[in-house]
A and B are shown apart, each in its own frame.
Chain A
Amino acid sequence: MRRFVDLRLRPSINDPDQVEGMARKASELGYRLVGIPLPPNVTRDKVDQLQRICSDAKIDFVTRMDLTPKTPGELLQDLRRFRRRFEITSVTCTSRRVARQAAKDRRVDLLLFPATDLHKRFFDHAEAELASKALSCLEIEMAPLLSLSGFSRIRLLSRLQREVAIAKRLNVPVAISSGVTNEYLMRRPHDYAALATLFDMPTPHALRALSEDPLAIVKRNRKKLSPDYVAPGILVVRRKTGV
């Protein structure tokens, strides 16, 4: 059976009731793993609390950091400082230079572009080529599709159609996430897959973007963060226990 993943639930992390409500709802809707964006300076206690809430709701929890750097230098600095504290690193690209740097950096897992300011969606052929070499993934948030209407939704759909076509041509994996801030915008994975057909993503691809593709990132990063990981292909299999 498929394990569905929502890598971007956005409850207020200071409101445990909201986190609990959304985690329970996600579990009820058929998700098995959720990611919640956390501020870089989040405390260990807060992470443990979120972990506990999600485990009570019978759902796996993944820590995620959303960076919004202004310059490539700031991005590199943030990655150096915080990368190993979180399981998933996402970069919201607000300038072309940041987008290019994020796409070629192997420490960046997800590339996210603003949904409302379409001039800042820099996912073109060059970006996709860099992302495909660095194993970065294009993240598509579904919440704006539900909250926008009329001309702004039409323009967003047309942009997403172009981006999905480019990603497919250059084999860049796509991750679909909800990006919702309240329970009323949460939908089942199959509903998101149906919505994804609006931007020309066939249902099987959309289902993969909701399960296998994001799950592969989580697995890869958890392996990398484990104490037994040394380098790609090298793992500690046994430790010397005293002489």
Chain B
Amino acid sequence: MSKRVRRRYLALKVVCEEPVNGRDVMGAIWNAVLQLFGEYGASQASLSLIEFDPQKNCAVVRCSHTALEMVRASLASVTEINEKPTVIQVLGVSGTLRALRKKALLQG
């Protein structure tokens, strides 16, 4: 029997001077992962965008639980999107979407 894949969901807040979309955000994250950990590292991250709220500039991304630190480091290293200074803040991390939403609600 194969072992269940463990995942981590990250709630993110994107602080940028210009409006951005989910595609731009994921592009910047992939670039950062590739720059820091290369193609092999990126292949292990299992990164995907779950949702993006353009009004609040908040996103939820999913990654493999073994790659969490790698993804956090890559998120911290993002300094610009579309050549505009940008910060991607991690608001919370959780093993399930439901718990993540609860956490994000608690944080306001």
Determine if B73 and A146 form an interchain contact, defined as CB atoms under 8 angstroms apart: no
Closest approach, in angstroms, between the C-beta of A179 and any C-beta of chain B?
A: 14
Contact A146 B79 (CB under 8 A): yes
CB A151 to nearest CB in B, in angstroms, measures 12
Closest residue of A by beta carbon distance from B84: A184
Query: B35 contacts the other chain (Cβ, under 8 Å)?
Result: yes
With contacts A184-B87, A188-B89 taken as known, whether A203 is within 8 angstroms of B77 at the C-beta atoms is no
- Flag whether B99 is at the interface (Cβ < 8 A): no
Q: Per-position contact with A for B69-87: 1 when CB-CB < 8 Å, else 0?
A: 1101101110100000111
Indicate the member of B15, B75, B87, B89 with the most A CB atoms within 10 Å. B87
A55 CB, nearest partner CB in chain B, Å: 24
The segment from A46-54, A62-70, A189-197, A231-239 that touches chain B is A189-197
- Asked if residues B90 and A188 are in contact (CB atoms below 8 Å), the reply is yes
The answer to whether A194 and B79 touch (CB under 8 A), given A149-B35, A186-B87, is no
Point out the residues of chain B lying under 8 angstroms from A147, CB to CB.
Answer: 79
Which residues on the A side are within 8 Å of B61 (C-beta)?
none
A198 at interface, CB cutoff 8 A: yes
Whether B36 contacts A190 by the Cβ 8 Å rule is no
Q: Which chain B positions have C-beta within 8 A of A185? A: 79
- Which chain B residue has the least Cβ–Cβ distance from A28? B89
* CA distance in complex: A131, B36 (Å): 31
Q: Is A184's CB under 8 angstroms from B89's CB?
A: no
Give the docked Cα–Cα distance between A149 and B35 (Å).
8
Query: B36 to chain A: which residues have CB within 8 Å?
Result: 198
Which residue from chain A places its CB closest to the CB of B77 in the assembled complex? Answer: A146
B76 contact from A182, A183, A194, A203, Cβ within 8 A: A194
- In contact, B87 and A187 (Cβ under 8 angstroms): yes
Q: Which residue of B lies closest to A186 (CB)?
A: B87
Q: Judge whether A190 and B90 touch: CB under 8 Å.
A: yes
Q: Chain B residue with minimal CB distance to A149?
A: B35
Cβ-defined contact, B90 with A191, below 8 A? yes
Shortest CB–CB separation between residue B103 and chain A, in angstroms?
14
Q: Are A194 and B72 in contact (CB under 8 A)?
A: yes
Contact across chains for B69 and A194 when beta carbons are under 8 A apart: yes
Whether the pair A191, B85 counts as a contact (CB closer than 8 A) is: no
- Partner of B69 from the list A146, A183, A203 (CB cut-off 8 Å) is A203
Bound-state Cα–Cα, A75 to B90, Å: 41
Residue of B76, B85, B90 contacting most chain A CB atoms (<10 Å): B76
Instruction: State in angstroms the CA–CA spacing of A198 and B74 once bound together.
Output: 10
State A102–B27 Cα separation when bound (angstroms): 45
> Which residue in chain B gives the minimum CB-CB distance to A183?
B87
Contacts of B70 in A (CB 8 A): 197
Within 8 Å of chain B (Cβ to Cβ): is A145? yes
A197 to B35, CA, bound (A): 15
* Chain B residues near A (Cβ < 8 Å): 15, 35-36, 69-70, 72-73, 75-77, 79, 85-87, 89-90
Name the 10 nearest CB pairs between A and B, nearest first: A194-B72, A191-B76, A184-B85, A194-B73, A195-B73, A187-B76, A195-B76, A197-B69, A194-B69, A146-B79
Known: A145-B77, A194-B72. 4 other contacts (CB 8 A): A147-B79, A184-B87, A186-B87, A194-B69
A-B contact list, 25 entries, CB within 8 Å:
A29-B89, A145-B77, A146-B77, A182-B85, A184-B15, A184-B85, A184-B87, A185-B79, A187-B87, A187-B89, A188-B89, A188-B90, A190-B72, A190-B90, A191-B73, A191-B75, A191-B76, A191-B89, A192-B76, A194-B76, A195-B76, A195-B77, A197-B69, A197-B70, A197-B73
